[in-house]
């Protein structure tokens, strides 16, 4: 398959070695290594293992590469360390330094595209015609989404004030505001808000007529005020008859908000706004989050990590603390809306990072629709893409400013994952879906996440020139289904009330170690139950077919028992989380991943002949795990077998 890509590469005028042989790929955590050939194409770096029997291939999209590092020369060659945004880390050793340098400099050039046109999405062609592509883009319709929420209604209307992106260029064209908010109020308010991001509706809780609105910080400085902005908030408040006040959630720590005042920004003064309840919730800024993830990855990337270093490192990184802060804020939001029936206005500084996290997660807690596959796509499309989360900057797509990069969206996905762990039946999708979305946010293979705002996407003509990720994901929906999902759970739990005790937050191993196979459970419950579910579907078909045949013989058959669990039985206690299992890798890699399975020799001998591929104990081997301490040898050269030791992994040599 890589040959196809090599052809594309030939058309491209760059001077790097198209392939380098005898390259060693070192395993990150054990001391295993494989020899293979490295190919460089216009879009991918490909490693093909030489061993013909198990020939694994690793495809790394250039866009996924976060950094390339040339380490100092060793006796076996020149090491090249490649770190990817999807948390893959590969360590090559290239025999000749010149080759290494060539690859290194070629990669540096390739992974710094200077214009959007160079992104993979503009050359990616999944063999679809224009009509299919268009249909893909039409899958998600935000106007229909607001209609689903019950908007426009007697209190909320669509405004055309931003039709030409004149009031706010980072907002979408279609915005929903209170009926009583006139254009002058909107325009006035927008002038009093950072980047013109005035308060607009993002979610409407029909049951209580309570609204979730979002905006950016007010330009209040130490004493400035703006009557239009005050009117705007009042209009939001008045549109909800259930509550006399609205909450204004400033998602920043108080100190940050205070500091902003010196720059002429800041937060709402409760004295100036009637009937608001102002609240700080203390989510840290993008720089803290970037640093936190970096620390986390450093810790979990350590070889032979001790439990103490792991837990101390987890604590020091602050990662789970930040995740909990976002979750706490979302729960606050959901409670205010669903319990008190109050409307809430959420903002941070610019209103596109923390605000997006809290609004999206809060809506997901309140509305079961967002916990379905389609609904989750809508949610991302609405609160992240259309409202201008700066994907291009945060995910480092183009012309990178390292200070703009931050794992804000990753944190949102992780919060959702933490929820799936607490409510295994609430979500139509499994964690594979979340991981796959994460993969493509960084892959630049589809148009959805390119650029920083809706306006920019229109200029780039993404809908005409690229494909939509959602269509692609829906086409392989069966891979992302949660087998124990229960639609009736949504009826009994329309609002999720997760526990936010610290001990209920876990490290998301399947995300941050998605390519480190030795870390994962060797058998996946998720995969197994999905297989059963699939088999049930097939068997139901078979039963029907057989019955039809039997009827031809004039035999009447009893109808199939309906598939409802016998609820009257008392529930047995539940053994552990159901969401286990190695993540699904991108399509290309599924096959090679299977080839990659390394069975211990003995394990293979012992494997019963009937074992089917899906259900064997995957890749479990003693040497992979390095239990340590078999150091030294007997010291006798006459021994037929001598135990030699390499980083704690015992090997027999003769």
Partner 1 sequence: MEFAELIKTPRVDGVVLHRPFMPTVEGTLCLTGHHLILSSRQDNTEELWLLHANIDSIEKRFVGSLGTIIVKCKDLRVIQLDIPGMEECLNIASSIEALSTLDSVSLMYPFFYRPLFEVIEDGWQLFVPEEAFKDLESMTDEWRLSEVNKDFSVCPSYPSLLTVPKDIDDESLCKAASFRHGGRFPVLSYYHKKNGMVMMRAAQPLTGTNGRRCKEDEKLINATLCAGKRGYIIDTRTIAVAQQAKARGGGFEQEANYPQWRRIHKAIERSNVLQESLIKLVESCNDQSHSMDRWLSKLEASNWQSNVKEILTTACLAAQCIDREGASVLVHGTEGTDSTLQVTSLAQIILDPSCRTIRGFEALIEREWLQAGHPFQQRCAQSAYSNGKPRSEAPVFLLFLDCVWQILRQFPCSFQFNENFLIMLFEHTYASQFSTFLGNSVAERVKLLLSQKTVSLWSWVNRPQELERFLNPLYEPNNLVIWPSVAPQSLQLWEGVFLRWNRSTKCLDEAYQEMVHIIEYNKELQNKVNSLRRQLAQLETEDSPLQTP
Binding site for substrate, by residue number, is 285-286, 348-354
From CA 37, how far away is CA 34, in angstroms rounded?
Answer: 10
Query: Which are the contacts of 530, defined by CB distance < 8 A and separation ≥ 6?
Result: 478, 481, 483
* Closer by beta carbon to partner 1, 157 or else 625: 625
Shortest CB 488 distance to partner 1, Å: 10
From CA 398, how far away is CA 451, in angstroms rounded?
Answer: 9
CA angle 104, 41, 58 (to 5 degrees): 85
From residue 562, alpha-carbon distances to 415, 495, 540, 543, 559 in Å are: 35, 28, 11, 13, 8
From CA 291, how far away is CA 316, in angstroms rounded?
Answer: 11
Structure tokens that stand for 507 in this block: 């490290």
Backbone φ, ψ for residue 616 (5° rounding): -80, 170
Exposure of 398 in the CB half-sphere (CA atoms within 13 A): 16
* Closer by beta carbon to partner 1, 388 or else 407: 407
- DSSP string for residues in 317-330: H-HHHHHHHHHHHH
* Closer by beta carbon to partner 1, 402 or else 566: 566
* Closer by beta carbon to partner 1, 123 or else 306: 306
Contact 318, 295 (CB under 8 A): yes
Shortest CB 57 distance to partner 1, Å: 24
Shortest CB 320 distance to partner 1, Å: 5
* Closer by beta carbon to partner 1, 257 or else 326: 326
Entry field: residues in the chain: 654
Angle of helix 319-338 relative to helix 408-422, nearest 10 degrees, comes to 70
Give yes or no: 348 in active site: yes
Shortest CB 241 distance to partner 1, Å: 34
Give the closest residue to 326 by CA, choosing from 428, 409, 439, 245.
409
Q: Which of 84, 348, 395, 444 is catalytic?
A: 348
Long-range contacts of 415-418 (CB under 8 A, 24+ apart): 415/323, 415/326, 415/327, 415/330, 415/357, 415/361, 416/361, 416/364, 416/376, 417/508, 417/511, 418/323, 418/327, 418/498, 418/504, 418/505, 418/506, 418/508
* Closer by beta carbon to partner 1, 320 or else 336: 320
CB burial of 93-122 (b: ≥16 within 10 Å; e: otherwise) equals bbbeeebbebbbebbeebbebeebebbbbb
Structure tokens that stand for 461 in this block: 């003509």
The dihedral built from the CA positions of residue 81, 86, 87 and 90, taken in this order, carries a sign that is: negative
From CA 61, how far away is CA 588, in angstroms rounded?
Answer: 11
* Closer by beta carbon to partner 1, 400 or else 648: 648
- DSSP string for residues in 75-89: TTBEEEEEEETTS-E
* Closer by beta carbon to partner 1, 402 or else 572: 572
Shortest CB 79 distance to partner 1, Å: 23
Query: Which are the contacts of 417, defined by CB distance < 8 A and separation ≥ 6?
Result: 431, 434, 508, 511
From residue 129, alpha-carbon distances to 94, 364, 470 in Å are: 42, 34, 16
Which residues are known to be catalytic? 348
């Amino acid at each position: 398959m890589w040959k196809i890509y090599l052809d594309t590469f030939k058309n491209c005028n760059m001077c790097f070695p198209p392939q380098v042989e005898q390259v060693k790929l070192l395993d990150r955590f054990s001391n295993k290594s494989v020899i293979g050939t490295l190919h460089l194409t216009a879009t991918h770096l490909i490693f093909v293992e030489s061993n013909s029997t198990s020939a694994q291939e690793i495809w790394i999209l250039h866009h996924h590469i976060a950094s390339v590092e040339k380490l100092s020369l060793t006796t076996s060659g020149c090491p090249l360390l490649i770190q990817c945004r999807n948390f893959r880390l590969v360590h090559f050793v290239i025999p000749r330094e010149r080759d290494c340098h060539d690859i290194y400099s070629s990669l540096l050039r390739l992974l710094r595209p200077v214009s959007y046109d160079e992104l993979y999405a503009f050359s990616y062609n999944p063999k679809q015609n224009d009509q299919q592509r268009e249909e893909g883009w039409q899958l998600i319709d935000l106007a229909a989404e607001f209609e689903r929420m019950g908007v426009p209604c007697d209190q909320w209307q669509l405004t055309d004030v931003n039709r030409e992106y004149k009031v706010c260029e980072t907002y979408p064209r279609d915005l929903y505001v209170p009926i009583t908010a006139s254009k002058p109020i909107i325009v006035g308010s927008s002038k009093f808000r950072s980047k013109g991001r005035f308060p607009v509706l993002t979610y409407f809780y029909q049951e209580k007529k309570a609204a979730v609105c979002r905006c950016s910080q007010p330009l209040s400085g130490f004493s400035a005020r703006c009557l239009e902005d005050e009117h705007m908030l009042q209009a939001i408040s008045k549109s909800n008859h259930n509550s006399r006040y609205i909450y204004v959630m400033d998602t920043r720590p108080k100190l940050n908000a205070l500091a902003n005042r010196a720059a002429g920004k800041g937060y709402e003064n409760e004295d100036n706004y009637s009937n608001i309840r102002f609240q700080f919730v203390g989510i840290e800024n993008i720089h803290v989050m970037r640093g936190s993830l970096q620390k986390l990855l450093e810790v979990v990337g350590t070889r032979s990590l001790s439990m103490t270093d792991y837990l101390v490192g987890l604590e020091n990184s602050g990662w789970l603390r930040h995740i909990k802060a976002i979750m706490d804020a979302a729960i606050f939001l959901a409670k205010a809306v669903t319990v008190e029936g109050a409307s809430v206005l959420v903002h941070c500084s610019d209103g596109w990072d923390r605000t997006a996290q809290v609004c999206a997660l809060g809506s997901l807690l309140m509305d079961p629709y967002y916990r379905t596959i389609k609904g989750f796509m809508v949610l991302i499309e609405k609160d992240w893409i259309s409202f201008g989360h700066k994907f291009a900057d945060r995910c480092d797509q183009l012309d990178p400013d390292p200070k703009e990069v931050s794992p804000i969206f990753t944190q949102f996905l992780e919060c959702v994952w933490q929820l799936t762990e607490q409510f295994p039946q609430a979500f139509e999708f499994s964690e594979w879906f979340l991981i796959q979305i994460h993969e493509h946010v960084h892959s630049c293979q589809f148009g959805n996440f390119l650029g920083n705002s809706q306006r920019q996407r229109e200029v780039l003509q993404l809908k005409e020139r690229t494909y939509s990720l959602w269509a692609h994901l829906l086409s392989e929906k069966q891979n992302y289904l949660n087998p124990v999902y229960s639609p009736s759970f949504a009826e009994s739990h329309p609002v999720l009330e997760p526990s936010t005790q610290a001990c209920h937050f876990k490290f998301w191993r399947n995300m941050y170690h998605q390519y480190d196979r030795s870390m994962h459970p060797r058998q996946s419950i998720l995969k197994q139950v999905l297989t059963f579910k699939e088999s049930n579907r097939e068997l139901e078909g078979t039963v029907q077919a057989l019955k039809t045949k039997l009827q031809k013989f004039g035999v009447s058959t009893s109808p199939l028992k309906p598939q409802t669990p016998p609820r009257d039985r008392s529930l047995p206690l539940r053994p552990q989380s159901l969401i286990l299992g190695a993540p699904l890798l991108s399509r290309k890699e599924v096959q090679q991943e299977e080839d990659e399975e390394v069975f211990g020799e003995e394990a293979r001998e012992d494997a019963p002949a009937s074992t089917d591929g899906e259900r064997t104990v995957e890749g479990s081997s003693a040497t992979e795990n390095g239990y340590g301490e078999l150091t030294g040898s007997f010291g006798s050269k006459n021994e037929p077998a001598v135990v030699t030791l390499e980083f704690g992994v015992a090997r027999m040599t003769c």
